[in-house]
Amino acid sequence: MTVLAGLLALLTGLAYSGLGVIAVYELGRNHKTRGFSYLGGAFALMAATCGPHHLVHAEHHLFWGEAVSGPMLAALAIGFVPGGIFVLLRIEAAFGGRGDRFVSGTPALLAALPWAVAVACGAILWAALGTARDLNPVSVVANGALFVNYLIVGVLVLRTQLARRPGLAGWSLSGLSMGGVFVTCGVAHLVAGIATPADWHTLLFDVPGVPFSIYFLWVVRSLHRRSLRDWNRRPLVGLASRQSRPSPWAT
């Protein structure tokens, strides 16, 4: 279990760090023609702490042999699926591909998925509370704040997908996976805060991650309310029509 948790944390950390690199690349590439992107900058800051957070846990499991709790392993596993889909779509877009797939209608599996994820996340958090020992107040507060902020971001992204569904007659796979990434990432942070021993390695990224996540939430909420202009805005807001776009957040 320890090796499996280490591998999942390693792959997740590399994926999120890679997304941050892609976001920075897009900012640099489009800066002269489109200007600064608040969403791109906020996403890069978020990835700069979230990716290394998972890499530190991977180091602890793979090199130090730190034992992993059942809830932490489950949180990593449930977040790996939407994270893997999202990263693969972004890699495809980076090489000139579509970077998205259209899901026509609402398949029964997709309709049941939110309920299944909600039940699974609730069970994971409940189990994590039962294994909480010698809590670090700084880690609990930092990861608790990250949980709240990322959960709200995920809800806003998924809410936009839900609002666009009647006009699209379906769903954006990149948008759904992006929303799933933030919901499950928030759960993983909260479980890490209450069920995983904290040290300065993890706090080095978790504590700065709090203001970064607040800024990211502000940008997402502003775009959702159409009170902020940004060329790098989908799928947080957008026209209710089928569109082909190179990434979930680029026009």
Respond yes or no on whether the N-terminal peptide bond of residue 235 is cis (omega within 30° of 0): yes
User: What's the rounded mean pLDDT across residues 40-46?
Assistant: 90
pLDDT tens for 236-249 read: 433 333 444 444 54
Which residue do the tokens 């890699």 mark?
A: 91
* pLDDT attached to residue 224: 80
pLDDT tens for 163-191 read: 888 877 888 888 899 899 999 999 999 99
Among 83-92, 109-118, 144-153, where is mean pLDDT lowest?
Answer: 83-92
User: What are the boundaries of each domain within the chain?
Assistant: 2-224
Task: Please work out, in degrees rounded to the nearest 5, the angle formed at the alpha carbon of residue 124 by the alpha carbons of 119 and 125.
Answer: 100
Q: Is the pLDDT of residue 230 over 90?
A: no
User: What's the rounded mean pLDDT across residues 148-175?
Assistant: 88
Asked if 2 and 73 count as a contact pair (C-beta separation under 8 A), the reply is: no
